[in-house]
Structure 1
Amino acid sequence: MGSSRMIFVALFLGLSVGAMAGDPYLFFEWNVTYGNIAPLGVPQKGILINGQFPGPTINSTTNNNIVINVFNNLDEPFLLTWHGVQQRKRSWQDGTLGTMCPILPGTNYTYEFQVKDQIGTFFYFPTTGLHRASGGVGLLKINSRDLIPVPFDTPAGEFDVLLGDWYNKGHKTLKSILDSGRTIARPDGIHINGKSNKVGDKDAQPLFTVETGKTYRFRVCNVGLRTSINFRIQGHTMKLVEIEGSHTVQNVYDSLDIHVGQCISVLVTADQAPKDYYFVTSSRFLKRPLNSVVVLRYANSNGPASPELPPPPPENSAGIAWSMNQFRSFRWNLTASAARPNPQGSYHYGSINITRTIKIANGHYKSDGKLRFGINGVSHKDTETPLKLAEYYGVADKVFNYDLVKDEPPHEDDKKVVVAPSVVNGTWKSYVEIIFVNNEKTIQSWHLDGYSFFAVATEPGKWTPEKRKNYNLLDAVSRNTIQVYPNSWSAVMTTLDNAGMWNLRSEMRERAYLGQQLYFSLLSPGRSTRDEYNLPVAQLLCGIVKDMPKPTLPYA
């Protein structure tokens, strides 16, 4: 944990409404600063947390209460979001500009949330500007309680792996490029935990060290800006055991595609000759591929890694088919015990009646001659007053209009775009089907805050209602991020049962920054604290609500 301060407190402290007595608290103090980093060997100013890149790992257990006091020592406003952590009833602290005010330079803010009814591998990252391009990312893992059996033997150790594409330009330069109406284009390389070695580098130090005969868990997240990545370990196979909070059927793979924003866990047994091996990454679906390696070393290593790397998957249409088939091989392990949010943990999700179908089509546009991205012809624009606070204080009509995004996208040739804050009304506890439609030539990746969804299908071509017969309605993985291949579609199902305002966004940071996102507003009929906790006393206020008193009742 570096210089993080962490204290375990087993008694209920009364710090938040609804936190369960007896559930432990984990306290952290984080200082966010600039510092010199060089993931690709080119020095630049990065964003560090307690002097680290990647940032400190949060190692928690189901139902722990997490309290993180974040000090912003940058020269810009700053926010962190907890990617994949559902934060039941707490969208106030979701860490997006639509839900909360940013932490101003020289000030601090304390996040507090409970990892309620979850297990698995997640991460955090900054949502302000293009900060994610310069660091501020870290792993957040939630372990099962001791009483809950895990469907594999306890590994000899765990390795946290944050990988992603990287730009040698700093975040301010990248932001200025986007603000000028241009694309940030192709990244410069791929980093693995902030490192990138070259094959044959005799001075490369091992990133992972293993002992012969032992099995290790690798928790891997793609925290990049836009690039899908394939990873593999020279001479070793990988057993998939978890995807974004769900135990999976334990298939064995030679390599795995991981798309932007996704996290998976694999088991790897050190069953080869004791020497060095390469952990290998390759970009996917780029015209000019990117590659990177780091060293995995046996403790009694007696030789360097072979320069002959395991080949990447095919590219072009064959590569898309390969990756799509791999997605279809992922199955939820229905016999495994685990924490599951209700009612989404239902084993019979396929028999629940769909009450609403929303088709989401990504698109790129020009507005005043500048590049914009959007959803169904609407390009989201952040506002000075967070949308959630405007709704809470009853002044939403002064900040945004609901339902600019319709449930059906316009014709794909329609290039008109509305640039405005985008909020879609959701019906409390409705069971929705979301169809992500990608008519573009590049792969997409989508994430929904506050929820897990059942990833039931991804296919090429056009979606029609008849395609539902191809859905996996038995054991689709419950997860929070899904890819959509070029000229293809993907379908998910979820119950809108987590009250609040939650961000649906492209995980391609360039696209989200330029408008490919929206917010779902979920208000329970009674607007009770049983459904959504009240505004925290210490919540930051800004914009037109800055000087308003904090209400004592929900939505007063």
Structure 2
Amino acid sequence: MGGFMLTLLLCLSAGATVVRGEDPYLFFTWNITYGTISPLGVPQQGILINGRFPGPNINSTSNNNIVIHVFNNLDEPFLLSWNGIQQRKNSWQDGVLGTNCPIPPGKNYTYHFQVKDQIGSYYYFPSTGMHKAAGGFGGLRVNSRLLIPVPFADPEDDYTVLIGDWYTKSHTVLKKFLDSGRSLGRPDGVLINGKSSKGKNKNKPLFTMKPGKTYRYRICNLGMKTSLNFRIQGHTMKLVEMEGSHTVQNVYDSLDVHVGQCYSVLVTANQAPKDYYMVASTRFTKNVLTATGIIRYTNGKGPASPVIPEAPVGWAWSLNQFRSFRWNLTASAARPNPQGSYHYGSVNITRTIKIVNSASTVDGKRRYAINGVSHTDPATPMKLAEYYGVSDKVFKYDTMKDEPPATGADKVTVQPNALNVTFRTFVEIIFENHEKTIQSWHLDGHSFFAAAIEPGRWSPERRKNYNLLDAVSRHTVQVYPNSWAAILLTFDNAGMWNLRSELWERHYLGQQLYVSVLSPAHSLRDEYNLPDNALLCGIVKDLPKPPPYSI
């Protein structure tokens, strides 16, 4: 017997793997269509995925490759984005207008990304226009691999709960409002998994629980503008994960879930066997809107009590709840941004960017800005322009300064807003909110450490109040009225990444920017090449493809 065959047999008999294949693939085909929906009892045009509203949940595991064939059957361009999925080295799949050409009507595009080194609860949504107000969204979970211990016992089942405010007017009408200078106004209601107490099947349970069993609920607020308080009648919730990080397992009667945020809780069916309401109600609004959904015990013997548990009052309560959140440092899990994951508090800050949100009027119409710059998307996605070497014809870097203007705060410039950030530097970002409404901010491609939220104005002396030990690593942070929030992160993911207000009216009218993180090596170790199937538009549409990166 030859030496190679003998070695091969010895390896196999010892249980060794001779050839290592790729990580598993999950394939999906999604048809995007219009359809009539009535979540608040009023028929309206919705955006469906394979005929469903909300769209299908994606159930994946760390390091899975996800391939989604998207067919756009709408009458306008369309894109999907993956809220919180880090797209390591791959902003080509981020699905926002700064990186991707939208899918034209009647055309298709295949997303291909890997949920690399991630676990947790996320969602996807349409990022073009006001499509988010019509549907096209769904849950996306990333489970831990079997060999990675999870800091709690396997639940009996795992449920996705999508909550959000809702308008009965179509997305085209809402877009016309904003384009004409009008506001969206107040939402008409709140939905839980696309349903409300005003729609059909309101007495049909959303979820069931067996007595004595524990269930995982993944709660995401993917609404348009409103923070929501979530609670379950007669039950407490043990928080175990937040936006991809295991947390210290505190128990809560209710949770404030701000726009763009996702929480995972464990709920034990330890009450009398009957129906119970899960409740989502608006926070920090003059008129409180409430949605309920039924959780039914499998041996239930009665309807839910009509007495709905009350939500907390005031934003100070919400701030104190934020301060109770802590990262579980002993849990084994995929950890994002490894340079700063364990001892981020001892890493030297290389740059401080202070962001102040503002509202103003430009040419008689409402615009929202960051440090005096209101973003508008150029016809050529900025990432494509950068890759093709024609960025100087499309946008300018750093038109927004790291500090808000000292004077002329109401003066707003409408233009593409792109920051140039040095690869792998550790950066402090301050969100300072001078307004009377709560804000919510999200960063694509990275997780950050939400080190502090406090009332008043930020100054360097406030750093002494930062949590530099176990702030939760996450991707969305709220900023209360006349308050500030500080986040810390390593920009270690090369690409072009969207930093945005999650309040979609503000996002649509310019309260966003892009962070360009360029690798000087131009190496595949740092960033993938433009995909072969990439859609091209604008001035790069007919240009020859640049030489690819290599290792």
TM range (shorter): over 0.9
Partner of 1:429: 424
For the residue of structure 2 that corresponds to 1:206, the secondary structure is coil
Partner of 2:169: 169
Which residue identity does 1:59 align to in structure 2? N
Q: Tell me, yes or no, if the aligned pair for 2:337 and 2:490 is still in contact at 8 Å.
A: no
Q: Tell me, yes or no, if the aligned pair for 1:210 and 1:297 is still in contact at 8 Å.
A: yes
Rounded to whole Å, the distance in 2 between the matches of 1:21 and 1:545 is 36
Partner of 1:486: 481
> Displacement of 1:340 after TM fit?
1.1
2:373 to 363, 375, 378: 378
Q: Tell me, yes or no, if the aligned pair for 1:89 and 1:498 is still in contact at 8 Å.
A: yes
Partner of 1:16: none
For the residue of structure 2 that corresponds to 1:328, the secondary structure is helix
Rounded to whole Å, the distance in 1 between the matches of 2:191 and 2:536 is 37
Rounded to whole Å, the distance in 2 between the matches of 1:256 and 1:71 is 37
Partner of 1:49: 49
For the residue of structure 2 that corresponds to 1:29, the secondary structure is strand
Q: Normalising by structure 1, report the TM-score.
A: 0.94
Pairwise CA RMSD of aligned residues?
Answer: 1.4
Rounded to whole Å, the distance in 1 between the matches of 2:418 and 2:227 is 28
Rounded to whole Å, the distance in 2 between the matches of 1:193 and 1:76 is 25
> Displacement of 1:202 after TM fit?
9.7
1:366 to 347, 361, 365: 361
1:236-257 CA distances to partner (integer Å, 9 max, x unpaired)? 0000000000000000000000
Which residue identity does 1:28 align to in structure 2? F
Partner of 1:294: 293
Partner of 2:68: 68
Rounded to whole Å, the distance in 1 between the matches of 2:340 and 2:423 is 17
Rounded to whole Å, the distance in 2 between the matches of 1:150 and 1:139 is 21
Q: Tell me, yes or no, if the aligned pair for 1:364 and 1:374 is still in contact at 8 Å.
A: yes
Partner of 1:243: 242
> Displacement of 1:282 after TM fit?
1.0
> Displacement of 1:21 after TM fit?
3.9
Partner of 1:512: 507
Alignment of 1:9-408 (within 5 A): 21-197=21-197, 204-314=203-313, 319-344=314-339, 346-408=341-403
> Displacement of 1:159 after TM fit?
1.1
Rounded to whole Å, the distance in 2 between the matches of 1:365 and 1:344 is 39
Structure 1: which 5+ runs fail to align? 1-19
Distance 1:155 1:443, change over 3 A: same
Rounded to whole Å, the distance in 1 between the matches of 2:24 and 2:281 is 40
Rounded to whole Å, the distance in 2 between the matches of 1:390 and 1:57 is 33
For the residue of structure 1 that corresponds to 2:206, the secondary structure is strand
Q: Tell me, yes or no, if the aligned pair for 2:337 and 2:446 is still in contact at 8 Å.
A: no
Partner of 1:3: none
Rounded to whole Å, the distance in 2 between the matches of 1:226 and 1:42 is 21
> Displacement of 1:553 after TM fit?
2.0
Rounded to whole Å, the distance in 2 between the matches of 1:411 and 1:325 is 32
Q: Tell me, yes or no, if the aligned pair for 1:90 and 1:533 is still in contact at 8 Å.
A: yes
> Displacement of 1:530 after TM fit?
1.0
Rounded to whole Å, the distance in 2 between the matches of 1:332 and 1:129 is 35
Which residue identity does 1:381 align to in structure 2? T
> Displacement of 1:413 after TM fit?
6.0
Partner of 2:5: none
Which residue identity does 1:41 align to in structure 2? G
Which residue identity does 2:282 align to in structure 1? S
Alignment of 1:462-477 (within 5 A): 462-477=457-472
2:534 to 539, 544, 552: 539
Rounded to whole Å, the distance in 2 between the matches of 1:164 and 1:109 is 28
Rounded to whole Å, the distance in 1 between the matches of 2:415 and 2:289 is 36
1:394-432 CA distances to partner (integer Å, 9 max, x unpaired)? 111111111011100124862000000010000111000
Which residue identity does 2:343 align to in structure 1? H
Rounded to whole Å, the distance in 1 between the matches of 2:492 and 2:65 is 21
> Displacement of 1:329 after TM fit?
0.3
Which residue identity does 1:263 align to in structure 2? C
Partner of 2:437: 442
1:134-184 CA distances to partner (integer Å, 9 max, x unpaired)? 000011100000000000000000111101000000100000000001110
Rounded to whole Å, the distance in 2 between the matches of 1:202 and 1:120 is 30
> Displacement of 1:554 after TM fit?
3.8
Q: Using the aligned pairs only, state the percent identity.
A: 70
Aligned residues: 531
Q: Normalising by structure 2, report the TM-score.
A: 0.95
> Displacement of 1:308 after TM fit?
1.0
Q: Tell me, yes or no, if the aligned pair for 1:123 and 1:139 is still in contact at 8 Å.
A: yes
Rounded to whole Å, the distance in 1 between the matches of 2:377 and 2:220 is 27
> Displacement of 1:287 after TM fit?
1.2
Rounded to whole Å, the distance in 2 between the matches of 1:72 and 1:477 is 37
